[in-house]
């Protein structure tokens, strides 16, 4: 954390990595975001699962039993729809949530085993961004990896490609990946989702500075910064920034650093990439997956793609065709 913060705040323009959002307070704020009227992502993806879970599970299983792996500690009710559909089909299902946070995994295990009898939760404490290792499938078993909730959208395209190649490398031909991506759409809808009327997203962004105060002894005056969301059409991404309202100096005692801000200067805190229709499928193909099926919600705001691991692994970054 210390090295990421000093690297980011000494850069021009200044930036901070978005994984810093998710301390206990930030994770709670993110949960609130997913329930906001403006934040259509969670609702749209849930609507797809509510309608299509059985079909998704049947296509992924292709007649075999499924073992379900989720990258991230379980997106609560959305994952529940898929797990219930799997239990309906095969009575019991092994569910392996993968996350860096042991406490998030414990919570997911407790909740899911209580709520969906038939699900056997086998948590894995692992940083899947650094690579992924999965147990080989038992005979008659296939793996389905879930990477839902538009989490892939917070990675730069090269990082996202690498992550998908790592997932592909951990799978056997015929295993499947279910990827949830947010689609590009009109600017007003996008901006409202990342700058909601109740100010929850602003609090989520500002919590990053509060976290640096708490954990690194920084003296950010939160009333001297504001939240800004910007649609960057050239890169098809929403950017979140924290804007300095005045000229100021901030000290970070744990890093023995003082950082100067001019008025209007920003700290870039997040990118959230929005895909054009068909782009996620191209991305998956370049990582060694075979196109399966894609579902969208009624308003075509969000897409869920099922892809199968092919016999060939993904192309290396330099060979990518869809940059």
Residue 157 CB, nearest approach to ligand AVI (Å): 15
Instruction: Report if residue 295 touches ligand AVI, rule: CB under 6 A.
Output: no
Contact assessment for residue 123 and residue 94, using Cβ atoms and an 8 Å cutoff: no
228: tokens are 């800004």
Instruction: Report if residue 201 touches ligand AVI, rule: CB under 6 A.
Output: yes
Instruction: Report if residue 270 touches ligand AVI, rule: CB under 6 A.
Output: yes
Instruction: Report if residue 194 touches ligand AVI, rule: CB under 6 A.
Output: yes
Contacts of 262-268 spanning 24+ positions with Cβ under 8 A:
265/13, 265/14, 266/13, 266/14, 266/228, 266/241, 266/242, 267/8, 267/9, 267/14, 267/15, 267/16, 267/241, 267/242, 268/13, 268/14, 268/15, 268/16, 268/239, 268/240, 268/241
Instruction: Report if residue 72 touches ligand AVI, rule: CB under 6 A.
Output: no
Contact assessment for residue 1 and residue 20, using Cβ atoms and an 8 Å cutoff: yes
Residue 152 CB, nearest approach to ligand AVI (Å): 8
Rule CB under 6 A: choose which of 79, 109, 150, 207 binds ligand AVI. 150
Instruction: Report if residue 149 touches ligand AVI, rule: CB under 6 A.
Output: yes
Q: Could you tell me the end-to-end alpha-carbon distance of the chain, in angstroms, rounded to an integer?
A: 30
Q: Give the interface segment with ligand AVI, choosing from 93-101, 146-154, 209-217, 297-305 (CB under 6 A).
A: 146-154
Instruction: Report if residue 314 touches ligand AVI, rule: CB under 6 A.
Output: no
Residue 272 CB, nearest approach to ligand AVI (Å): 3
Task: Give dist(CA 208, CA 14) in Å, integer.
Answer: 14
Task: Give dist(CA 281, CA 277) in Å, integer.
Answer: 9
Rule CB under 6 A: choose which of 75, 84, 154, 244 binds ligand AVI. 154
Look at residue 159 and give its three-state secondary structure: helix
Instruction: Report if residue 41 touches ligand AVI, rule: CB under 6 A.
Output: yes
Task: Give dist(CA 246, CA 42) in Å, integer.
Answer: 36
Residue 254 CB, nearest approach to ligand AVI (Å): 26
Residue 269 CB, nearest approach to ligand AVI (Å): 9
Instruction: Report if residue 220 touches ligand AVI, rule: CB under 6 A.
Output: no
Chain residues in the site for ligand AVI (CB under 6 A): 33, 41, 149-151, 153-154, 194, 201, 270, 272
């Amino acid at each position: 954390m210390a090295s990421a913060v000093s690297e980011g705040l000494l850069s021009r323009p200044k930036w901070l990595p978005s994984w810093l959002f998710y301390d206990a307070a930030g994770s709670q704020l993110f949960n609130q975001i997913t329930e906001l009227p403006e934040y259509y992502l969670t609702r749209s993806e849930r609507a797809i699962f509510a309608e299509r879970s059985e079909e998704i599970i049947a296509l992924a299983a292709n007649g075999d039993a499924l073992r379900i792996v989720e990258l991230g500690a379980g997106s609560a009710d959305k994952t529940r729809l898929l797990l219930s559909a799997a239990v309906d089909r095969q009575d019991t299902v092994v569910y392996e949530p993968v996350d860096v946070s042991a406490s998030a995994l414990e919570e997911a295990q407790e909740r899911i085993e209580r709520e969906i009898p038939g699900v056997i939760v086998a948590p894995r404490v692992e940083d899947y961004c650094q690579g992924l290792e999965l147990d080989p499938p038992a005979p008659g078993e296939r793996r389905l990896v879930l990477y839902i909730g538009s989490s892939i959208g917070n990675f730069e395209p090269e990082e996202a490609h690498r992550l998908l190649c790592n997932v592909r490398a951990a799978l056997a031909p015929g295993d499947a990946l279910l990827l949830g991506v947010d689609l590009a759409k009109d600017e007003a809808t996008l901006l409202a989702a990342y700058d909601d009327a109740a100010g929850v997203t602003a609090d989520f962004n500002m919590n990053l500075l509060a976290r640096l105060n708490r954990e690194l002894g920084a003296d950010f005056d939160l009333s001297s910064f504001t939240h800004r969301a910007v649609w960057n059409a050239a890169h098809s991404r929403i950017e979140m920034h924290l804007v300095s309202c005045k000229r100021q100096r901030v000290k970070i005692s744990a890093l023995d650093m003082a950082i100067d801000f001019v008025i209007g200067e920003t700290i870039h805190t997040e990118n959230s990439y929005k895909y054009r229709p068909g782009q996620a499928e191209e991305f998956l193909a370049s990582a060694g997956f075979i196109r399966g099926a894609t579902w969208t919600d009624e308003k075509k705001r969000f897409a869920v793609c099922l892809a199968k691991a092919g016999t060939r692994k993904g192309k290396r970054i330099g060979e990518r065709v869809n940059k």
